[in-house]
Structure 1
């Protein structure tokens, strides 16, 4: 995509300026029609630096996943501005957009077609976008996510939850995107494999120089994965902070403080 000369000063004390990968200004998202129309996201604005990892956190129903769906094109009833790599994005997306942004969904059991082999799941987008060397690309993708080529002709029901999510990550990487949208990528997994998937995602981001936008309700996950965090409540962003502020429990907004306290568990004095 063509780029414009846009820069931001990241909050995490980088000396230089970083190019913006994703800019959202005054995003509003709606569901329903007429009297039943509901505004799920209200005036959301964020900037994500190229190569950065930005977290959206909040309780269920806060609108954080809806923001990802507007970016990806899965939700079309929205207004505001979405810029990707300096280019304004319309509600109707071109096919080439899939080669810029991909999404990893929460539930690996639902996101993979049960009757499609892993080979078909990974090779189909390559054929649609006319990539060459499909066999080599599929094999390498399986190696990159820690599965290996022996998984290529298996089906989802033959895999564990963690293995399915690795396939979902491989599928998201097939078209060589520059931005990954991660919607609660570990919340449906056993605790024993959550850390493995998070470490895999961290390694992939570093090796491929990707930009991440991560949605989660788990503050430990954003502390591990993200540079900056936006806290959402009732469809609005109430605070944006760097990860160090969150780790030291020094937010400015009362809701953020309550969220941090809730994540620490029961406190007798309260």
Structure 2
């Protein structure tokens, strides 16, 4: 029997207060098993990235129950949480300090978690994400978009986490580079026994990486289905069927 890595129940997330309060996520519930890759899809503004940010502790205004990597989450995240859970953001250029080399980015990430032997760990970490030694002392502006995202993934892996939260990790990349990053994430998950939650607006991208998918509309999860059901176009909810139809039409027009 597999263990549950992430259990989200009755999650509400909001911004503002009083008359200015805006509900971004309402009564979201899902569970992700250890080693599973779980996708969350929906149109822009549907609340999918907000769920990841709430899990990561980047949104303080939420209610409900979140148990992640065996820890019941409250208003603050423990140091132990960030050893187990890391996030990869959408824009690899914005998420990397422009004046820090790859070496500095990875060294700081390891130092924050109290790791030693940093100098010997960095080459192995870079090799894990497909970057050779020549990239170690380059700055972000000297890297392509795909290379920057590889650095961002390496930074997330620096503390050997159990869970990666992936917020549209390929949407800022060219289509050919998207495939490379998705294949890298697939290999890393297999080699390191990682658990993923991946947010995307692209059903094709999520279908490549995930076994099950939650579909969001206006802050609510309307359906959770497995990828094979999605590929057979057997979704139960009309909105999911609409998304699938749009995805098919979009792929035919390319």
Fold conserved between structures, TM > 0.5:
yes
Given candidates 69, 72, 76, the residue that maps to 2:53 is 69
With normalisation by structure 2, the TM-score equals 0.97
Deviation readout 1:169-213 (Å, 9 max, x if unpaired): 000000110000000000000112110000000000000000000
The equivalent of 2:121 in structure 1 is 137
Alpha-carbon RMSD: 1.1
1:176 is the counterpart of 2:176: no
The equivalent of 1:118 in structure 2 is 102
Shift of 1:115: 0.8
The equivalent of 2:144 in structure 1 is 160
With normalisation by structure 1, the TM-score equals 0.91
Given candidates 224, 241, 249, the residue that maps to 1:240 is 224
The equivalent of 1:60 in structure 2 is 44
Shift of 1:35: 1.3
Q: Name the CA distance, whole Å, in 1 between partners of 2:63 and 2:231.
A: 34
Shift of 1:85: 2.6
1:42 is the counterpart of 2:26: yes
The equivalent of 2:193 in structure 1 is 209
- 258-267 or 233-242: which moved more? 258-267
Runs of 4+ in 1 over 2 A off after TM superposition: none
Gaps in structure 1 of 5+ consecutive residues? 1-16
Shift of 1:266: 6.5
Shift of 1:235: 0.3
The equivalent of 1:5 in structure 2 is none
Deviation readout 1:107-156 (Å, 9 max, x if unpaired): 01111010111111101121122111101111111111111121111100
CA 201–29 in structure 1, closer or farther in 2 if over 3 Å, else same: same
